[in-house]
Structure 1
């Protein structure tokens, strides 16, 4: 579903669990910012790519805002999909996925 949304140009996706925990994915179709938030307003945590250099743009939000992020704060799209799949099935990021806490 997420891959299809991104291919259709829907680059921002939010999923909310019954506990209020939120999973957000914002992509530019090559890389993605994957965020986990305990509730609305929580700064949360996000997947990271330590050592990645440079910046990527084209992360278009549903309100039309076009963001740019350091590559170390995003992950390649295939890795983002793997992370999301694991979070949805296990409730936690996969072992070995790098995370940055923003709290």
Structure 2
């Protein structure tokens, strides 16, 4: 059975991947730069952006260090990752991906439950 995903914005209705993508884009446009999704199996998918790059993390559940998308060879760091609690984070660019790639990764994970075959990611467990 393929997991269903719910956007953690008060909704309890599972969202198909195209709705998730529309919602992410709309939230970023409104300045809401952190979005979490929960799957029917209890996994968590995090999307945190500064509108140019994004941190995409997939966790097996609360407390799991999980895994995250990477851009090997990227140099430098980027600021402006604003969390819902008001915290401002800075990440190494190698630990984030361009926002377009992040949207593609999230859409694929929500559709299939796994990273795309061509995705680069590291396990943090």
Deviations 1:3-61 (A, max 9, x none): 11111100000000111100000000000000000000000000000000000000000
Q: Look up the match of 1:16.
A: 38
* TM score, norm. by length of structure 1: 0.99
Residue 40 in 1 paired to residue 62 in 2?
A: yes
Distance in 2 (CA, whole Å) between partners of 1:95 and 1:7 is 29
The CA distance in 1 between the partners of 2:40 and 2:123, in whole Å, is 22
Structure 1: 5+ residue stretches without partners = none
Is 1:68 paired with 2:112?
no
Residue 94 (structure 1) aligned to one of 111, 116, 122 = 116
Structure 2, unaligned runs of 5 or more: 1-22
For the aligned residue pairs, the C-alpha RMSD in angstroms reads 0.4
CA distance in 1, matches of 2:36, 2:123: 19
Q: Return the alpha-carbon distance in structure 2 between the equivalents of residues 72 and 97 of structure 1.
A: 13
Greater CA radius of gyration, 1 or 2? 2
1:26 matched residue in structure 2: 48
Structure 2 length normalisation: TM-score? Answer: 0.81
